[in-house]
Structure 1
Amino acid sequence: MSEAVQYVTNQQGERVGVLLDLETYHRLSNISASDEDLLTGLSLEELQALADSQLASTEQVQLGELLIQNADGQLPPEANTKIDLLLTQVDNLNILKTRARYTLKQLYGVSI
Structure 2
Amino acid sequence: MKAEQTFVPKSDLNYRAWLAANPGGFVLNRYSSENSSSYLVLHRASCDYVTKLKGTATEGGHTEHNYLKVCSPEIAPLAAYASEHSTKHGKPGQSFTKLCTRCNPAGDDQ
TM-score range for the pair, normalised by the shorter chain length? under 0.3
The structure with more helix, counted as a fraction of residues: 1
Q: Which has the higher strand share?
A: 2
User: Normalising to structure 2: TM-score of the pair?
Assistant: 0.25
